[in-house]
């Protein structure tokens, strides 16, 4: 990957080093902040040429969302904008707007997350662009759809609140709690990227593009999986349970002699192995704990017994003993320890060094792996390149 330019140089930048799974695709990225940029970065990592359209002078909001910074650059922006090219266009300026339309007319994919109706007013809506570029895959990301929810602000925190995630996060009886990361934005970005790939597959067969629509709220409701299914099929409204699982026991945080450890015994075999290692085989033989449903019904009694047993040794001791026995468990790491753990496992979680370091794309492909060829762009760094491919 190009070394991260912390001084704002607009030097020409290299082309991708080799063919990727999405090589040859041009993506016009009109999205900002997180969900859209995350989706387009995944495409860029896989070889697509992504052109990020930004406001002159300011650019993507996340350019100023710091600390932390790497040099003068907000690391929030760096997180989701590598392998992209930036062009600064004022969509209120007729000349810049024509450049934006020319880019969209040339693109294979367009991704946008403006408030519903904005792109139509600019002459950049799907109906107009699809008429001149019938192969265009046009992805719109909204907070709450383009109907009655069109005017609602599409922020991750709002989606977590109204979408039910905060109601199942946190301690029982405690205040509603958000997830520690903008999880709904990330999930929506993944859905957007998958929708685009599905539409491209359809285009391969028919030559026709289509519109892809995803929303934060719909993505969250889907991602709530077992909770959402429990409500849809059985009318059960879940509640916050802290680190416990509503349907599996033991599956939570326990206090060892020195610090907490997580244990997730998801089946009877794992539970029996846990009891053997703890020296409490009698618990596995107890009729109250014979099956998972029994353990859920007698949760408090079982957790009390396990807590007493786990207090005898350190978390590291238990991890070393339980893991070979096939009992899922692990220490509770901070982010530094998490990266170190991934490195020890050979997962190579980072690429680059120092201020140029990036989190690696998690997708492994044997023939067309992700590449890291462009650092996140300086605002407007690739204006000349973009205008050249558009014919001036």
58: domain CATH number is 3.40.50.10540
- Residue 68: is the preceding peptide bond cis (ω within 30°)? yes
How far CA 311 is from CA of 234, 295, 375, 391, in Å, comes to: 38, 21, 48, 70
Examine residue 270 and state whether it is found in any structural domain, yes or no: yes
Examine residue 242 and state whether it is found in any structural domain, yes or no: no
Is 191 marked active-site?
no
Examine residue 240 and state whether it is found in any structural domain, yes or no: no
CATH number at residue 304: 3.30.1540.10
Examine residue 1 and state whether it is found in any structural domain, yes or no: no
HSE of 177, CA atoms in CB hemisphere, 13 A: 15
CA proximity to 80, closest of 56, 54, 49, 45: 45
Residues 362 and 325 in one domain: no
pLDDT of residue 14: 60
pLDDT of residue 6: 41
Examine residue 20 and state whether it is found in any structural domain, yes or no: no
Examine residue 385 and state whether it is found in any structural domain, yes or no: yes
C-beta separation of 380 from 56 below 8 A: yes
pLDDT of residue 17: 57
Query: Total domain count for the chain?
Result: 2
Domain range holding 194? 26-223+348-389
pLDDT of residue 5: 47
Residues 123 and 148 in one domain: yes
Residues 148 and 97 in one domain: yes
CA proximity to 90, closest of 57, 49, 63, 123: 57
Residues of the chain with pLDDT under 50: 3-10
pLDDT of residue 21: 96
Match 């359809």 to its residue by tokens: 202
- Please identify which of the residues 69, 191, 202, 245 carries the catalytic annotation: 245
Q: Where are the alpha helices (DSSP H) in the chain?
A: 35-45, 75-79, 94-106, 118-121, 126-132, 156-162, 183-206, 216-223, 225-234, 268-278, 281-285, 292-297, 299-310, 315-322, 335-344, 383-389
CA proximity to 78, closest of 65, 94, 97: 65
pLDDT of residue 391: 87
How far CA 3 is from CA of 36, 41, 88, 352, in Å, comes to: 24, 17, 22, 8
> Whole-angstrom Cα distance, residue 224 to residue 229?
8
Tokens of 3: 């070394």
Residues 292 and 361 in one domain: no
Residues 59 and 192 in one domain: yes
Examine residue 53 and state whether it is found in any structural domain, yes or no: yes
Residues 280 and 369 in one domain: no
Examine residue 265 and state whether it is found in any structural domain, yes or no: yes
């Amino acid at each position: 990957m190009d070394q991260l330019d912390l001084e704002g140089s607009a030097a020409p930048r290299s082309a991708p080093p080799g063919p990727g799974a999405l090589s040859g695709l041009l993506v016009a990225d009109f999205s900002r902040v997180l969900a859209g940029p995350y989706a387009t970065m995944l495409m860029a990592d896989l070889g697509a040429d992504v052109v990020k359209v930004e406001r002159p002078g300011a650019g993507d909001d996340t350019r100023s969302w710091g600390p932390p910074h790497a040099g003068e650059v907000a690391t929030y922006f760096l997180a989701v904008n590598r392998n992209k090219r930036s062009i600064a266009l004022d969509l209120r300026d007729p000349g810049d707007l024509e450049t934006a339309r020319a880019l969209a007319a040339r693109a294979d994919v367009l991704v946008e997350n403006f408030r519903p109706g904005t792109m139509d007013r600019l002459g950049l809506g799907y109906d107009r662009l699809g008429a001149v570029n019938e192969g265009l895959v046009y992805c719109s990301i909204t907070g709450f759809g383009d109907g009655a929810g069109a005017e609602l602000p599409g922020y991750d925190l709002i989606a977590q609140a109204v979408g039910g995630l905060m109601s199942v996060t946190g301690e029982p009886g405690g205040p509603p709690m958000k997830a520690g990361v903008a999880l709904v934005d990330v999930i929506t970005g993944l859905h957007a990227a998958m929708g685009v790939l599905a539409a491209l597959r359809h285009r391969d067969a028919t030559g026709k593009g289509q519109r892809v629509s995803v929303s934060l709220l719909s993505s969250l409701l889907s991602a709530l999986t077992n909770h959402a299914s429990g409500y849809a099929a059985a009318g059960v409204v879940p509640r916050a349970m802290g680190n416990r699982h509503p349907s599996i026991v033991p599956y939570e945080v326990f206090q060892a002699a020195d610090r907490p450890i997580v244990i997730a015994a998801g089946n009877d075999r794992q539970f029996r192995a846990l009891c053997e290692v703890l020296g409490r085989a009698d618990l596995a033989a107890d009729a109250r704990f014979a099956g998972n449903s029994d353990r859920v019904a007698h949760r408090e009694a079982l957790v009390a017994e396990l807590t007493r047993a786990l207090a005898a040794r350190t978390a590291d001791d238990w991890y070393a003993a339980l893991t070979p026995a096939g009992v899922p468990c692990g220490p509770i790491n901070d982010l530094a320890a998490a990266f170190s753990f991934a490195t020890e496992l050979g997962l190579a979680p980072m690429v680059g060094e120092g201020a140029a370091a990036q989190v690696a794309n998690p997708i492994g492909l044997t023939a067309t792996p992700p590449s890291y060829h462009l650092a996140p762009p300086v605002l407007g760094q690739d204006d000349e390149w973009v205008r050249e491919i558009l014919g001036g």
